[in-house]
Structure formats: C-alpha cells, structure tokens
RNA sequence: GAGGGGGUAGCUCAGUUGGAUUAGAGCAGCAGCCUUCUAAGCUGCGGGUCGCGGGUUCGAGUCCCGCCCUCCUCACCA
C-alpha cells in the first residue's frame, strides 16, 4: 500500500466513496475533512453532524456506522490510522508513528513537494503586476510592501505550477510627471541624469511642485497641461521626461538589486501611449464609454456605486477632458496587451488597498468590453495590501513630512544584523558576518510584511521592522542554522545518515513529524487567497516544533537507530524550512 | 451617504471559512535552563466578558440583524 502524500485528501475521498452505502447518507455527502487540534487528532471529519441535523438522526450512531463501513472496506490500514468517533459526532483520524515514519521516509525533498504542488496551477499562464512604483520619487517605506508581498505571491504561484511573467508596470506617464516638469521649469533647473545629486534634486523639486499644485488649482492645471504636452509628443517635454525616467529607474534598480528583485519585463504606462486610442475607439464603438463633462467615462449602472445615478457619482474616467490618458486608460490597454501578447489566463495585480474601487471598475469594464468584442477575459485578481502608517497613525505621504527612505531602512537593518551576528558569532570572519548581516537584515524586513495578513494596516516602527527574536525571519533562519550545524559537526550532508531510521517515538519527535506533514495544507491555504502569511505562520510553528525537539532530543546519541531517525527529522525540517523561506524570498544561511 | 479594511491578552497579531472540558502565538513582565549537536534558543507562570446588544442551533471570535469606534476611497492623482 503506497504512502499517501496528502492524507487529508485521501481520507476525504474514501469517506465520500463509502458513505452512500451507509443508511442515512446521500451520494453528495461532504465529510468536511480538516486538520484537527493536535490534542485530539490529526484530521477530523465534521460532516456527519450536518447529515444528522438534516435527517434528525443520532450523529454518533451515524458516525459509528460510517466508521464501521470504512473499516470493512479494508482500505484504511489500521496500523497507520487510529479512527474513533468523538464528541458530538466527529470522526477523528490520528496518524500512528508507523504512518509518520513511512511518510518521512517516502517524501524526502523539495522535488517531491514541487511535483505535488505543480498540479495546483497546472501550467496556467499568469501575469503578475508588481511592484509597479510611481517613478520620479525616491523609494520610501511605502514601497516595501509591493516588493515584498509581490515577490512572495509570485514565487508561490510559480511553485504551484504556473507559467509566470513578472511585469513591473511602472507609473511613468501620469500627472506626477506633469508636476515635476512644471517644477523644473519654474525653478529654471537644468536636469542632468549623470549628476550624482540628480535624484535628490528631483525629490526636492517634486516636493515643491506637489505643494504648489495642492495649494493652487491654476498650478495644477499648468501641471496637467505639461503632461498633455508630453503625451501629445512635445519634443522638449519628451526629452525632459526621458532624463527623469533615467534617473528614477537607476535609483529604483539599486533598491531592487538589494532585494534580489528581478522582473521579467518592465512595461510601464508609457509603453501603452500608442495603444490607448484603440481603447477609446473600441469602448465608444461598443457603447460602453460616453462623454461626460468633457471626459470620456464608463458607467456601470448594474452596480449602484458605479452607476450614473449614484448619490456621489464615481465614473470610470478613461480619458481626461484635456484629451490625455490616465491610469484607467493605460490599465485597459495593458489588460488587452496582456491578454493578447502574453496570452494570460490570469492576471494578478499587487497594489495598495486604496485602489480597490479602481480595480473593481477596471475589471467590470474589462469584462463588458471583452464580451462585446468576443475576446476571452483572463481571470483578474486584485491582491491588495494595507497601508504602512506613520507614527501619527495616518498614511505615509510624501507631503506630510519625510517618510523613512527605503535605503535607510535597509542600511539600518543590515547594521543591526551585523551587530547581532558579531555579538553572537565573533569567530566568523568579517566578510562572512557582513554577508550574513545583509541576508538577515533584509529577511527581517521582509518577514514583517509576510507574517501578518496583507490586508492589515500597520504603523511604521523601527523596532518592529527590525526585531530579530520571536516570530521573525532570524528565528526561522536560526532553526535552519542549527539543523545544518548538526550535519556539519557530523561531517555529513543534509539528508545522509538515515539508514535504519525507526519511527518517531518521543513526544517531541512525534509533534515535529506531525508538523512536517502540514506543509501542503499550508501551501493550499496560502495559494487560495494569495495570502503568504499562512505559510509564515506554518513555518513559525514548524521552527518552534523543531526548537522543542532540539532541546529535548539529542541527535548525536550512541543508539544508531535513534540517531538515524533524528537525523531524518532534522533533514526534513531543513528541507521544508528552506523551501518555505525561499517561497517568501528569504534566502537561508549556513551559519549566523 | 455609499463601498472597503480593522476592533481578539498591556503591545503587535494568528485564528484553515460554524466545532470539542481550557480562544492561540510573539513581544513586554516574572521564574528557571548553556562542561552535550549554535541560548537569535528552550521550559514554566501570570495576563481575555473575542467593540456593544439581539438572533439563528446540538455548538458562534467565525453566520444574520441593529448600533458604536477607527482607518481608507469616492470627477479627471496613481
């Protein structure tokens, strides 16, 4: 009998198969199989309670009858599963040490996980849109989340078998450029992209322009006019724009390099400058778009909020009254391009949650447009995240004071990590400590964003972002380091020395083994809503189970069978922790 | 006003879609554990009327209704 890779899925199938032959159950019986509180069992089926309620039967009697029928099939090896009816009528399944041992021997390494996971997305073509910053600005803490969450989601999707294209859809064709061009003109500034202070100059000028246009509507109109000139091909503005883009792209790239971020393509808004006319034409032709107050807009009367009759009307403005494009125009053009050029089955947008209305309008417009033109609409998903708030509890905005620059944050993280590694492992060479500090510092930053639900807002705090203890990246990395250290001391590679391993025996061994089996469930959960924190939570629990095992059960003991099985548990822990960390884009280290 | 997020321990957050006498972590606090594989660790203790009030049922932090607080978005910014 083969060892089940995913016992929950198999038990679910078995119960579905057997149930119809038992009095009181229908053909469409849903066992509602799920992981259980480990104090009770590994898995539990709750579905019998629903059946009993409907039929007004006795749930425990029904559950017992079902369990008997399952046992009678002989398909459930009782050496592997303990089955019992518990509480009001749950069916509990507990994996025996024999089952845990068999599973650990069978599912050894990342290739097994990957093969199992690859079925989940089954080769679908997915375009993921991240981190897509607005250029012409220095990157600050607000740019952290799209980089970190986007990369984790991308890796998750890829791991689960998608053919992925990472598209950095930079904001390089919007009013922010109008503002900047205006400010440069007014200051009589001569921009030189080669100048070392170019970025700081732009930063300063943008701030000036921003203040000016906020205070004075006439200035805002002037900025829009500069943008309109740019979009209509004015040579002077175009030349200036190119210089600005050059400066800001270089600056962004420096940050990306430090995060190891590599997108496949960078097709910003400006790439679609000659593709928006088709959008205007088609939307008008199929009767979706119409003129309103001089602008070209789309109403969705089937949704009260976006209807023209809404109390506070919120049209989807696809072309501004001065004829220039905005993000709705370019997003629609982008949607079409991704569907036609990349043949996307699915598009994932990773952006700030404040853009939810925009994406709902975009998706609705896209659906109607594609239907009317007989195109196939890709599945569209908006993976949004909450805001990083300033100390005052308000969203960080360039205007309200100076938000912490991303580079400062990286530097501080690296410095603190260097101090920590120097204090704890002074015997390592400075070069090695520097490399570790860089990995640990960035990892700590990333993990903060990946450990909690992405839809949550949180307040910026140095101490929170740079914590190295507790549920943090360094904690997970440290677990890996301790596993690897055992193998290094023994002079063997991870995964060796398992011959003759017996089944898990001590409570901490068993707890660790059970936790190891939970990896696929965590992946399922994280993939479903593209929420990486489910994976983080799991990895933290796994590292904690390893910590308890490590403290309680010495690996290097004389008994060869015990030693072999503990080495096996160590190797599996290492493999799953490293695989999981890499899915979060955290690169584990050998020592720290 | 409409839509969205949030309200769970002093603080920061999980809570696998309605399950099990006792709602979980991490920080912070207290008490222990380094002559054994890395103490960025481990063990234990204390700390909660899950915003408030109703309802649905065998069973609610989770679902329904009504309130309260807070953050975000709502005509040419992305």
Check if residue A506 sits with its Cβ under 7 angstroms from strand B: no
pLDDT at A547: 96
CA distance A207 to A193: 18
Nucleotide nearest to A548 (CA to C1'): B42
CA distance A577 to A587: 11
**What positions of strand B are covered by protein, i.e. any atom < 7 Å from a CB?**
1-6, 12-21, 25-28, 36-43, 57-59, 70-78
pLDDT at A398: 46
Positions 165-204 of A with beta carbon below 7 A from strand B are 171, 173-176
Q: pLDDT in tens for each of the 592 residues of chain A?
A: 678 888 888 899 999 999 999 988 888 888 989 888 888 899 999 999 988 887 778 889 999 999 999 999 888 888 999 999 988 899 999 999 999 999 999 888 888 888 888 888 989 999 999 999 988 778 989 899 999 999 999 999 999 999 999 999 999 999 999 999 999 999 999 999 899 999 999 989 998 998 899 889 999 999 999 999 999 999 999 999 999 999 999 999 999 999 999 999 999 999 999 999 999 999 999 999 999 999 999 999 999 899 999 888 999 999 999 999 999 999 999 999 999 999 999 999 999 999 999 999 999 999 999 999 999 999 999 999 999 887 666 766 544 457 889 999 999 999 999 999 999 999 999 999 999 999 999 999 999 999 999 999 988 888 899 999 999 999 999 999 999 999 999 999 999 999 999 999 999 999 999 999 999 889 989 999 999 999 999 999 999 999 999 999 999 999 999 999 999 999 999 999 999 999 999 999 999 9
Check if residue A313 sits with its Cβ under 7 angstroms from strand B: yes
3-state secondary structure A232-279: CCCHHHHHHHHHHHHHHHHHHHHHHHHHCCCCCECCCHHHHCCCHHHH
Q: Is the ipTM of this complex over 0.90?
A: yes
Q: How many other C-beta atoms lie within 10 A of the C-beta of residue A422?
A: 15
Nucleotide nearest to A328 (CA to C1'): B78
Domain ranges of chain A: 7-95, 127-173+268-385, 178-265, 473-583
Indicate the pairing of strand A289-292 with strand A295-298.
antiparallel
Query: In sequence order, what are the beta bridge partners of A129?
Result: A167, A349
Report the distance from CA of residue A478 to the C1' of nucleotide B32 in Å, as an integer: 23
pLDDT at A397: 55
Nucleotide nearest to A47 (CA to C1'): B19
Nucleotide nearest to A416 (CA to C1'): B40
Specify the CATH number for A127-173+268-385; select among 3.30.470.20, 3.40.50.620, 3.40.640.10, 3.40.1440.60: 3.40.50.620
pLDDT at A399: 43
Check if residue A353 sits with its Cβ under 7 angstroms from strand B: yes
pLDDT at A423: 94
pLDDT at A116: 80
CA distance A500 to A564: 6
**A7-95 CATH:** 3.30.1360.70
* Token output for A270: 């400006």
- Asked if the peptide bond before residue A131 counts as cis, ω within 30 degrees of 0, the response is yes
Q: Tell me how many degrees the CA angle A476-A479-A480 measures, rounded to the nearest 5.
A: 95
Determine the topology of domain A473-583 in CATH. Isoleucyl-tRNA Synthetase; Domain 1 (1.10.730)
CA distance A53 to A30: 14
pLDDT at A401: 57
Check if residue A214 sits with its Cβ under 7 angstroms from strand B: no
Check if residue A525 sits with its Cβ under 7 angstroms from strand B: yes
Nucleotide nearest to A268 (CA to C1'): B78
Report the distance from CA of residue A388 to the C1' of nucleotide B20 in Å, as an integer: 39
List C-alpha distances in Å: A478 to A71, A485, A515, A548, A555.
44, 10, 18, 14, 17
A447, A536 Cβ separation under 8 angstroms: yes
The alpha-helical segments, DSSP class H, found in A19-80 are 47-55, 59-73
The maximal CA–CA distance of chain A, rounded, in angstroms, is 88
* Token output for A109: 């390494």
| DSSP-derived secondary structure for A294-316 | TEEEE--TTSGGGSTTSSS---E
Report the distance from CA of residue A214 to the C1' of nucleotide B33 in Å, as an integer: 61
Structure letter (DSSP) for residue A134: B
Backbone angles phi, psi at A216, to 5 degrees: -130, 110
Check if residue A452 sits with its Cβ under 7 angstroms from strand B: yes
* Token output for A505: 């025996």
């Amino acid at each position: 009998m083969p060892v089940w890779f995913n016992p929950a899925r198999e038990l679910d199938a078995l119960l579905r198969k057997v149930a119809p032959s038992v009095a009181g159950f229908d053909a469409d019986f849903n066992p509602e199989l799920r992981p259980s509180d480990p104090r009770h069992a590994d898995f539990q089926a709750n579905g019998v309670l629903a059946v009993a309620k409907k039929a007004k039967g006795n749930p425990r009697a029904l559950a017992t009858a079902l369990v008997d029928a399952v046992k009678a099939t002989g398909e459930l090896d009782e050496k592997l599963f303990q089955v019992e009816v518990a509480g009001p009528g749950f069916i509990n399944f507990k994996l025996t040490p024999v089952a845990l041992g068999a599973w650990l021997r069978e599912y050894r390494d990342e290739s097994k996980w990957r093969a199992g996971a690859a079925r989940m997305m089954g080769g679908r073509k997915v375009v993921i849109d991240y981190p897509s910053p607005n250029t012409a600005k220095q990157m600050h803490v607000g740019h952290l989340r799209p980089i970190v969450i986007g990369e984790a989601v991308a890796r998750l999707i890829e791991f689960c078998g998608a053919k992925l294209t990472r598209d950095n859809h930079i904001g390089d064709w919007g009013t922010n450029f109008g503002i900047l061009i205006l400010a440069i003109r007014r200051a009589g500034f001569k921009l030189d992209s080669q100048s070392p202070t170019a970025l700081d100059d732009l930063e300063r000028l943008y701030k000036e322009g921003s203040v000016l246009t906020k205070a004075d509507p006439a200035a805002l109109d002037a900025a829009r006019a500069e943008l309109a000139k740019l979009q209509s091909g004015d040579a002077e503005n175009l030349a200036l724009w190119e210089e600005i883009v050059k400066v800001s792209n270089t600056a962004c790239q420096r940050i990306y390099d430090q995060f190891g971020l590599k997108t496949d393509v960078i097709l910003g808004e400006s790439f679609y400058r000659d593709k928006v006319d088709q959008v205007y034409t088609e939307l008008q032709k199929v009767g979706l778009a119409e003129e309103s107050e001089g602008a070209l807009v789309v109403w969705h009367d089937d949704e009260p909020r976006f209807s023209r009759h809404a109390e506070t009307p919120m049209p989807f403005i696809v072309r501004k009254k001065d004829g220039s494009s905005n993000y709705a125009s370019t997003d629609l053009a982008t949607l079409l391009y991704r569907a036609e050029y990349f043949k996307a089955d699915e598009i994932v947008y990773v952006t700030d949650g404040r853009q939810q209305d925009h994406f709902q309008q975009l998706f609705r417009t896209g659906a109607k447009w594609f239907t009317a033109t007989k195109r196939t609409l890709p599945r569209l998903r908006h993976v949004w995240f909450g805001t990083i708030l300033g100390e005052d509890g308000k969203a960080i905005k360039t205007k309200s004071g100076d938000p912490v620059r991303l580079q400062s944050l990286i530097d501080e993280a690296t410095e603190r990590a260097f101090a920590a590694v120097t204090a704890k492992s002074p015997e390592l060479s400075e070069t090695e400590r520097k490399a570790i500090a860089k990995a640990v510092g960035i990892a700590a930053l990333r993990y903060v964003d990946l450990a909690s639900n992405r839809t949550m807002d949180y307040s910026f705090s140095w101490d929170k972002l740079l914590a190295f203890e507790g549920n943090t990246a360094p904690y997970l990395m440290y677990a890996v380091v301790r596993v690897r250290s055992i193998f290094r001391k023994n002079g063997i590679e991870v995964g060796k020395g398992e011959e003759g391993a017996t089944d898990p025996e001590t409570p901490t061994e068993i707890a660790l083994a059970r936790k190891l089996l939970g990896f696929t469930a965590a992946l399922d959960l994280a993939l479903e809503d593209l929420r990486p924190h489910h994976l983080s939570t799991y990895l933290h629990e796994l590292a904690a189970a390893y910590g308890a095992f490590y403290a309680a059960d010495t690996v290097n003991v004389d008994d060869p069978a015990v030693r072999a099985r503990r080495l096996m548990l160590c190797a599996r822990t290492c493999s799953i922790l490293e695989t999981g960390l890499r899915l979060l884009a955290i690169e584990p280290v050998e020592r720290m």
